């Protein structure tokens, strides 16, 4: 089973920081708003993958993060079979990130309408779970 690691970044002011994906028909979730992250490579652990992906995609080194949950993609609804390990990174300083992949980032507050086709299904699930826990 393919493994993927995603990061739910939360800004110091409380909003979620998400990636605006490139528009490319050859990638999953083309043009959608998603979590930052990527595929686990070789013998890499999900935590090692998280650190690498955040360094590559945002130019920051992370040390303070927590496991948020395992989400399962299935081909019938998500376009692929994949186990998605999601981690929470809080108190992110927006001034310190530099988006190196995708079309930039989106900020999402609990009252935003994120349960739309503009967001990947996994991102919708993760945001729903996070904002419910945060209340």
pTM assigned to the model: 0.90
Quick one: CATH architecture of 2-133? Answer: Alpha-Beta Complex (3.90)
pLDDT of residue 65: 97
Report the pLDDT averaged over residues 59-73: 94
Neighbours of 16 (CB within 10 A): 24
Q: Name the burial class of residue 7, with classes exposed (0-12), middle (13-18) and buried (19+) by CB atoms within 10 angstroms of its CB.
A: buried
pLDDT of residue 89: 97
Contact 4, 85 (CB under 8 A): yes
The answer on pLDDT for 118 being more than 70 is yes
The answer on pLDDT for 29 being more than 90 is no
């Amino acid at each position: 089973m393919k493994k993927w690691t995603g990061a739910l970044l939360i800004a110091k002011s409380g909003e979620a920081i998400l990636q605006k994906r490139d528009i490319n028909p050859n990638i999953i979730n083309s043009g959608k708003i998603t979590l930052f992250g990527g595929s686990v490579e070789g013998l890499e652990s999900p935590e090692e993958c998280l650190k690498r992906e955040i360094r590559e995609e945002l130019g920051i080194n992370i040390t303070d993060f927590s496991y948020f949950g395992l989400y399962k993609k299935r081909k019938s609804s998500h376009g692929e079979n994949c186990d998605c390990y999601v981690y929470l990174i809080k108190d992110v300083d927006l001034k310190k990130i530099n988006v190196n992949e995708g079309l930039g980032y989106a900020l999402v507050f609990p009252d935003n309408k994120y349960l739309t086709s503009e967001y990947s299904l996994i991102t919708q699930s993760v945001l729903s779970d996070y904002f419910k826990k945060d209340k």
